[in-house]
Amino acid sequence: MKVADIQTGAKLPDLRIDITAKLIVGGAIASRDYQDVHHDKAAAQALGSPDIFMNILTTNGLVGRYVTDWAGAGARLGAVNIRLGAPNFPGDCMTFSGEVSSVDAESGEVVVAVAGRNRLGDHVTGTVTVGMPA
């Protein structure tokens, strides 16, 4: 995809991510985050949480992937700004949606507003900036 192919207001296809214990633990370990609430259910429950929950770096990685999957191999990630909301627990499903909020045809900079919702509400909202080829 090139910057000329992208219009402000364009919608990204939704992406459903099944939230499994495997994804939560796998993402935590891939990001070298060994906090017990991301792999140890008893430890998470002792802190008042019903189950283990996804760490921030995994959320960040998934948000980046959602936008670059759409923008294609020519896109370069410039920024990922996220606000954190309801936790991602095993057994849930998070659906990403996105919409192009600005396009700078000259610089190739495209900003996408992203939300990832699960059954509790917004897990994550934010913006992703990508540089697109001319």
62 binds other proteins (CB under 8 A): yes
109 binds other proteins (CB under 8 A): no
2 binds other proteins (CB under 8 A): no
* Part of the chain binding other proteins (CB under 8 A), chosen from 1-9, 37-45, 58-66, 102-110: 58-66
- Report yes or no: 9 and 80 within 8 Å, Cβ to Cβ: no
Among 1, 10, 21, 31, binds other proteins (CB under 8 A): 31
132 binds other proteins (CB under 8 A): no
Burial environment of residue 80 by CB neighbours within 10 A (0 to 12, 13 to 18, 19 or more): middle
